[in-house]
Structures are given as C-alpha cells and as structure tokens.
Chains A and B, each alone.
Chain A
Amino acid sequence: MAKGRFVIGVLLLGALAAPIWGSRAQAAEKPKKTVEKYFVPDVVLVNQDGTKIPLKKFLETDRPVMLDFIYGTCTTICPVLSASFVNLQNRLGTDSRKIRLVSISIDPENDSPKVMKEYMKRYRARSGWDFLSGTRSDIDRVMYAFNAYIANKMDHYPLTLIRYPGDGRWVRIDGLMSASELMEEYRKVSGK
C-alpha cells in the first residue's frame, strides 16, 4: 500500500503521473480475519470535544473495544465504516455504551476537534463513539503499533480491530463488513 513515505517536492513537469485507475486489486474482496497481539503506545490524543485522551488507558478497558482508522474528508471507505459503527450503536440501543467505539484519524492535520465533531454529527453518533486526532508523530506511532501504517491517505484501506477485554487479544478484520457480520463480532466479543 504505502509506496513511499511521502512525495518530496520534485516537479513532475508535464508528467503523465499515475491516473485515477491504478493497478489496485478488485473491490468486492471479502473481509479477512486474524488474531493479533498489539502494544498500544502511550500517547495522548484529542477527541471531538477537544478533550485529551490517554490512548493506552482508553483502549485497555474492561469493555470491548472496536477501532478503525478514518478521516473527515475521506471518500468511499469511511462512509461505510462509519455507517456500520452508527448502525451498531442503533441496534444496541441502550446497550450501546457497553462497547467502546474508537475512530482514529489518519489525516490529523485537518481533523481538528471541530472537524471531527461535525463528522460525528453528520453520522448522528451517540456517546460511546470517539473520534481521535493528535500530532502527526503520535498518529504515526499508533498506525505502526497496529500494523496499519498508511503514508498516503488515498491508500487507505478498510480495517476494523476488536479488542477482547478478557485476555487483551485483538481480532483484526481487513475489509468492509455487513451489519450482520459486525453484529456477529459484537456478540462474540461481548459473550452474548
């Protein structure tokens, strides 16, 4: 995915740079699941209310956690990821606080608390779902820790990480899930 750290300022004079359609794999790939061990870095991020969030403490709770990587102006992938988070919250109703939903920005420069708050409002997120941003270097650390480093946000791919509170294992799901698939994951992690 990551082709290089970033594009340094060389002028591509008149270049036929990469067109919209690259050599990407086909869509309609089915989600892939693995079990992983991750070490959450001890960074302090900021949420949609401007509140500082110590990430390690925030994720290592006795509640199940579902985490994804999104950004405020993302196309295609984030709409679906976020729609499925809010749909899960709606389905759980008053139970929705029993799981902690966390979205981490991969465009931390643009995703200020204000941008994040508006994003959450658009999706009618309820409490129990936080959108976190931070400094570029802290966000990079988080992406590395979850083996999800994305140098260029347009190379973003859908990923959902689920933390089991009992033994702290993470289930990693690559790809987009349907509502029923996500619900099934919730049932497993909450022991219902």
Chain B
Amino acid sequence: MTALRRRTPSLRADARRTALCLLASLFLSAGVFAADRKPEPVPMPKEEALRLGERIYREGILPSGEPVMAIVQEDIPVDGTMFSCTSCHMRGGLGSNEGRISTLPTNGDSLYRPYEDTPVPMTTVEKNFKKFRAAHRRPAYTDETLAEAIRLGTDPAGRRLDPTMPCYQMNDRDMAILVSYLKVLSSETPPGVTPTNIRFATVIAGDVAPEDRDAMILPLEAYVRERNSRSRGLQRRVRMRASMEGLNLALRDVSLARWELRGPPGTWRAQLEEYYRKEPVFAMLGGIGYGDWRPVHDFCENHRIPCVFPITDFPVISESDWYTIYLSKGIYQEGEAAARYLRREVERVPETTIVHVYRDTPGGRALAAGFEETWREMGLPSPECRVLRGDEPVTGKLLRSLPAKGAHAVLLLWAGPEAAQALEEIAADPARPGKVFLSYSLWKRNPGTVPDKARDYTFLTYPYRLPREEGPYGNMARAWLAAKKVPLNDRRIATRTYSLIGVMSQAFGKMRQNIYRDNFIDSISVLPDLLYPDYERLSFGPGQRYASKGCYIVQLTHGAVPEIVKKSDWVIH
C-alpha cells in the first residue's frame, strides 16, 4: 500500500467551509446578516408550528413547500429532498452511530442542557462514553446558539462541528419553526411511563384458540417476570450510588396488560380506545389475531404507539406507516415471492403463459394482492385471472377448462388442500400446465398432502428457513420455551414470540434512559441482522417494517414425509 498524498491541512478546509456557509446565509438573508441573530418568535399557533417544524425535520421541506438547501462535507450542495435531519439524527432525535460517525442528539431535552461528563462511569462502555462526552462538552444551547449551529456548524463552546453536519440555509422564520419543534422532540414523558414502571399491552384480536393465545402470551409473561426480578436487583444496587444520569430503562419494572377484543372487528377500535383511556401504554408487544390486523394497526398509527411483531397472517402492507413493525408481510409475501420468481422465468422463456386462480378468502386475496401488485410494479401485464367462490370445489374438470395448457403454462392456484384430488387427476394429462404454484400457508402447512403424482410439477411458496437448516436456531428457542412450559405447535407462535423478546431486549438496551416512543422504534431500526428461529434472517432499518424479507420457492420429494427442496434464493430479486 502506498500513501499517495498528505491531507490538506484541516484549517484550510475549515476556513473554506465557514466561508461557504456564511456566503450561503448571506444570499438567503438578502444582505442583513448577523450570525447570531435571534430567531423570530414563532408567528403562528403552536400546533401549526410543530407540524411545519416536523416537516422540515423529517422531510426537509420548508413551510414554503420548497426543499431546504444546505452544504455538507465542506462544499457539497444538497437539498432536503435527498435527506433531512431525521436521516442522520433519527426520527426520535437521539442520534445515530454508524461506523465511525456519531451524530449527537437533537432533541430538546438534550440540546437545552449542558453536555457534560457522565458522573461515575461504571462499565467499560460508560468509560468510552465518558471520553466521547469529554470531547463534546458544551454549555446548554439557547435559541440563538442553536440557530448558529444549524446554519454555521459551530457549537456554543466554539467547537467546529464535523463537516458531515450540514450547514443549513434558513430564514429566521423557518429557523424559529424548526427550533420550536426540536424543543419538544423527545422531551416529554410518554404515556405509560412512570419513574419506576413502563406499561405495555398485548392485544388478543377476536376469537383465538386458547392454545394459540397461550403460545404468544406465556413467553411474554415469563420474560416480564424474569426481567422485573432482575431490574429489582439492579435497582437495589443503584440506589446506593448517588449519581445516576436519569433512570435507566433497565431499572424500571415492566408491566404487561392483556387487551382482549371481542365481537365484530368493526367494534374493535372503540374497545381499543377504551382500554387506552383507562390505562395508557408506552407500546404494544406481540399480539395475536386470525384476521386482518388493520384495526389495531390504525389505532397504533393514530396514537403513535409502537407495536412490535404481532402474530398475524394479514399485516397492513404500507410503505409509509411507521408504528407497527411486523415479522413479515404474512401471506402477501408468498404472492410477492411467486411474482419475483416467475418474472425471471418469463424472461428466460418468453412464451410462458400464466393463469392466476385464487379463492375468495382472506388468504386467497392476500396472495393474489401480493402477486398482482408485485407483477404490476415490475411493469408486466396482469395475467388472466379466475376467482373461486368461498366454497367452490376445485375439480379436475375446472383445471382442464382453464387456458393454462402445455409445458409453457403456469398455473397459480391459491387454494387449500381441497384441490389435492384435482391435481392428482390432471397429473397424467399431456395438456396440463407445466408448473403449478401453491402456497404453503394456504395449503395448511402440510406438504404431505400434496399428491405424490403432482409433486414433479408443483411448486410451493415457503416463507420459512428450510427445515433441515433450522436446527441450531430452533433448538435454542425450544429449550427456553420448554423451560417456561410453553406449548409448541406448527403455527410457530411461541418461537416467533421468542424472536420478539430477543429484539425487544436488545432495543431496550440501546434506549437507555431515553424512553421515548420514536426512540424505541429507532432503537429497533439500528439492530444488526438477526438469525432467530423460523425466518432465515431478520433485518431492520429506519422505515423497514417487515423484518423477514424472504420466501423460498420449493419443491417436494416423493414419499409420505416429503423433504422440502429449495428452487430459489431466500430473497428473490
């Protein structure tokens, strides 16, 4: 390795950056320039200012509707449509730590108090943290010095901020709006949190078999018990130390309420509101329901309540909703995988014809939506489609009547094991479709009932890790669950709840004393990829709402207990 050249002395770069930032500000304020001028009082009702401030922070859009302009890394011009404060400081404003670059907190509570050493570092982590803090020591911000940091990149101690913090060009009015937002960002104790306790709820949405309900709730309750006995031990130890920087999350008790929803889903919203009014919660953990999760999802979205890993086959599919984090897109994801797989098939064999058949049930519709929406996104024309009534039998005659004929024909058959007989009947037809696709979940998770004769031309969507690779991941979970006497069944409810507990306790560790809802979600977003039971991989990121992204396309071997053989990658592009 050869070092090519010495770096420009940083003084020169600094001077250039200051000049550029000053110049930018100068243009903007049309001549009247004072770096430390006071932001104007916010000229509008508080709620309006907060809404507009949030838009600057999250979307980089000024009240005028124009993107905010800035200069980053000394001399790179950027605008707010590319990225905004939230991209670096996170939605909750507690900062992020990616590789070698740490962004500092920008929530009101942190900015308007001095940034000092931690009093008594206890662990190695805290000792490192102390070093970090010592290098960033500064007095509390005021509205004026905060405006100066955002415009010119200097903090109230006179330290030049890292050039990765952009210099923003904002007039006084817009600055006042942004500052009023930063002041309240992650600054008030959220509902459900007291100095000694954090309250959570778990939702049982409608009729759920007691066995399934227990598989979700028993592990959660066991976790809460274990955690509380641990936190009480910690509390005793910590009470003896006079100096603690705010109460750490690990020191609070956790309580978990069961919110059971009864009657038709149309009435659930009112029931949720009533529960929430009586005992507000910080967040929802897990939950279970057999139907559409939408009523709970919307409730959480409206109240900005985080909800992590509910057990549902029917999550809400959205690219912008924020507060519910699902394990996967549920049954929808199987339709999506089929589309991605077939797209490559169509590229390879252009004369492929596809016929799409789905049963008019929630599962059939979810698969159809997953397939159709993905197909359309890829710019492909919708294939011929046939909808089966809820109780319409699938017969050999029906399959033969479809326009899916011959080796290049593909039949998507989103129906259950009641179609087994018909698949067997057409197996020997020369004109039968070359490939038939079924859904593992809709086929009631029982591949043994796919007729032996049909297996050579039948493909299944399979949204889990392959059984033969599950060993180490599943065993660990099963041992923990067995110790807690949790029943296990083929619906993977207990093991998925185990994953929830893992994610949650890691996120709690990252939150420390900053118990704010957005920070809870942000803390999950920055988790590393996790190899837990059931899914091949769980991954996270700001705005990523479905932790498992994959689904195999598989085939079955012959015999009474067929082996599952993958025909695709876990994630198909």
Contact = CB atoms under 8 A, between A and B. Distances in A.
Interface of A: 1, 6-36, 46, 50, 71-77, 79-80, 82-84, 86-87, 107-110, 112-114, 122-124, 133-136, 151-158, 171, 176-181
A25 B529 contact: no
Interface stretch (B92-100, B415-423, B447-455): B92-100
B128 interface: yes
A122 to B, nearest CB: 6
Interface of B: 1-5, 7-8, 10, 13, 72-78, 81-83, 87-88, 90, 94-103, 123-125, 128-129, 131-132, 135, 162-164, 223, 226-227, 230-231, 248, 250, 343, 377-378, 472-473, 476-477, 480, 498-499, 501-502, 505-506, 508-510, 512, 523, 525-533, 537, 539, 541-544, 549-550, 569-571, 573
A109 B505 contact: no
26 contacts: A9-B499, A13-B226, A18-B125, A19-B129, A23-B125, A24-B99, A25-B100, A31-B7, A34-B1, A36-B1, A72-B541, A73-B542, A74-B98, A75-B87, A79-B82, A83-B78, A87-B77, A107-B539, A109-B537, A109-B550, A122-B83, A136-B571, A152-B529, A156-B99, A158-B99, A180-B75
Contact of A11 (B4, B72, B128, B480): B480
A83 B75 CA distance: 11
Contacts of A27: 100-102, 162, 164
Contacts of B83: 79, 83, 122
Given A18-B125, A20-B96, A179-B75, A10 B101 contact: no
B549 A109 contact: yes
Contact of B98 (A15, A75, A114): A75
A17 B524 CA distance: 13
Contacts of A35: 1-2, 4
Contacts, number: 247
A10 B2 contact: no
A22 B13 CA distance: 28
Given A21-B132, A108-B573, A123-B82, 4 more contacts: A34-B4, A35-B2, A82-B82, A135-B573
Contacts of B131: 23
A83 B71 CA distance: 10
5 cross-chain pairs, A with B, having the tightest CB-CB distances, nearest first: A17-B509, A73-B541, A23-B128, A157-B99, A9-B532
Nearest to A84: B76
A14 B508 CA distance: 8
